Chains A and B, each alone.
Chain A
Amino acid sequence: MSSDTALADVPGTSPLAHEDAHPSDTHYVRVAVLLAVMTALEVGLSYIKGLKGMLLVAPLLIIMALKFGLVALHFMHLKWDSKVLTRLFYAGLFLAVGVYIAALSTFRIFNNG
């Protein structure tokens, strides 16, 4: 089996498939506009006086996660790249989130209101 054939057999790792899968510049501009709108929405939410506690924190965290995902998937090309890279990155991310939520819980930080 030639090396090219061997690589093409692994989903998402064919060099040609990777090159062809890159979206157009217009696609990137659309994603950037969406990110800007979401940032404006976040800032706007933080100024609404009636929103306090989880009513404010929950939508802010959801928008934050969406923005994070948009950049990672589209700008960092995780959507088109090898799944190995996605697993590597999210392993680090979820390990960090799990470890620090556990650590903060031991300090009862989530009980302070």
Chain B
Amino acid sequence: MTDIAAPAEATAGARPGVPPPAGHPPTSTGISNEKLAMWVFLGSECLLFGGLISTYLLYKTRTNGQLSPHERYDIPFTSISSFVLLMSSLTMVLAVAAITRGDHKRLRSWLLTTALLGSVFVSGQVYEFTAFVKEGMGFTSSAASSAFFTLTGFHGVHVTVGIIMLVSTFVLSLRGRIPQERAEAVEIVGLYWHFVDVVWILIFTVVYLVK
């Protein structure tokens, strides 16, 4: 991306006839536009998930005479899912550390491991949703179930998008499109992945554990 908004003082170091250094052109903050954009996006995502969690808290007792979602939760199962997602954050940060060192083989291993752990988490969520529907708690059964499925479903979609990003990064790395100088691209994917993880930390406590 061309940094058309780079201020004069940030580009003042460019000398005629000397090619610019590899990587992102300098910005006034010293942070690349892509990374800054991801953080702004994550800040706005806090508001989205804040709204969905608040809606769940507001409606969780409106069960339409049925069992509440809380009475149906399988806490040991969800705890294992949470553990899997937490560990995927570890493998993601190890992938970022690997590309920072220029270790492409380990980058690809950790990216695949992260995608695999994310897939296990999403599979667990699909299993949980299926079990709830079989027990009679569908999306439109009650306000509580609608709020529950919307919140956890939105999170599941975010994890799925993250898995697509991880697999795309893996393929790009295989084709040699992610040299060590572009380690920040992996870091940005990692930021999104860790955000998905911290949102689940909130959901797991507020939705599943707080009675």
Contact = CB atoms under 8 A, between A and B. Distances in A.
A25 B94 contact: yes
Contacts of A42: 204-205, 209
A75 B93 contact: yes
B42 interface: yes
Contacts of A2: 12-13
Interface in A63-81: 63-64, 67-68, 71-72, 74-77, 81
A104 B57 contact: yes
Given A46-B75, A76-B194, A100-B51, A14 B90 contact: no
Contact of B79 (A25, A39, A100): A39
Contact of B43 (A3, A36, A93): A93
Interface residues on A, range: 35 or more
B80 to A, nearest CB: 10
Contacts of A97: 50
Contacts, number: 154
B97 A82 contact: no
Contacts of A75: 89-90, 92-93, 190, 194, 197
Contact of B50 (A25, A64, A100): A100
B9 interface: yes
Nearest to A103: B54
Interface of A: 1-7, 10, 13-15, 19, 22, 25, 28-29, 31-32, 35-36, 39, 42-43, 45-47, 52, 56-57, 60-61, 63-64, 67-68, 71-72, 74-77, 81-82, 84-85, 88-89, 91-93, 95-97, 99-100, 103-104, 107, 109, 112
18 contacts: A3-B11, A3-B13, A5-B13, A6-B9, A6-B10, A10-B29, A28-B93, A36-B86, A39-B79, A42-B205, A45-B209, A56-B211, A60-B205, A71-B197, A75-B194, A92-B44, A107-B58, A109-B57
